[in-house]
Amino acid sequence: MERFVTRRRVEFADTDSGGVVHFSRYMVFMETAEHQFLAARGIDVDTRIQGKRVSWPRVSVRCSYQRPLIFGDEVEIEVGVARRGRRSMTYTFLLRRGDDEIASGEMTSVCCVIEPDGRFTAISIPPELAGRLEEGEPGS
């Protein structure tokens, strides 16, 4: 699998009074990296299919924290695909600062449409999106 890598700089509002980045902000770091990974494959996460908005809510997430990040740090976030399901994508994330491994995570997002009443209905990943997701896979 090819590597997809993005970078961001820790903002002051990412930190907490322990002096380091709050652990909840890693979720945002991972989500935005996921969106950039998809954008690099021509996939807009906020799209419409047959008039309905598509969303990719999480069904599970986990993160292990090895070293803290502080204000001003530049973080490198590597995104990989652990599993490409019919309705869901499972991504892996590796966060580094220089040579230091900071954290690793995994997230499963399900392809859904948002119904007019606001409810989410899981759908098969539409063929045009699935095709773009496959193009980044090994052997393709």
In this chain, which of 3, 50, 62, 139 binds a copy of itself, going by CB under 8 A?
Answer: 62
d(CA 82, CA 107): 9
Residues 6+ apart with CB under 8 A from 123: 49, 87, 111, 112, 113
List all residues 6 or more positions away from 30 whose beta carbon is below 8 Å from its beta carbon.
Answer: 61, 63, 77, 91, 93, 105, 107
Contact flags string 109-128 toward a copy of itself, x per CB under 8 A:
-----x---x-x--------
Q: Does 130 bind a copy of itself (CB under 8 A)?
A: no
Contact between 52 and a copy of itself (CB under 8 A)? no
The distance of closest approach from Cβ of residue 37 to a copy of itself in the complex, given in angstroms and rounded to an integer, is 13
16 binds a copy of itself (CB under 8 A): yes
Q: How far is the CB of 42 from a copy of itself (least distance, A)?
A: 14
CB of 80 to a copy of itself, least distance (A): 18
CA–CA gap between residue 21 and residue 15 (Å, rounded): 4
The least distance separating a copy of itself from the CB of residue 57, rounded to whole angstroms, comes to: 6
- Judged by the rule CB under 8 A, the positions of this chain that interact with a copy of itself are 11-13, 15-20, 22-25, 27-28, 31-32, 35, 44-46, 55, 57-65, 68, 70-72, 114, 118, 120
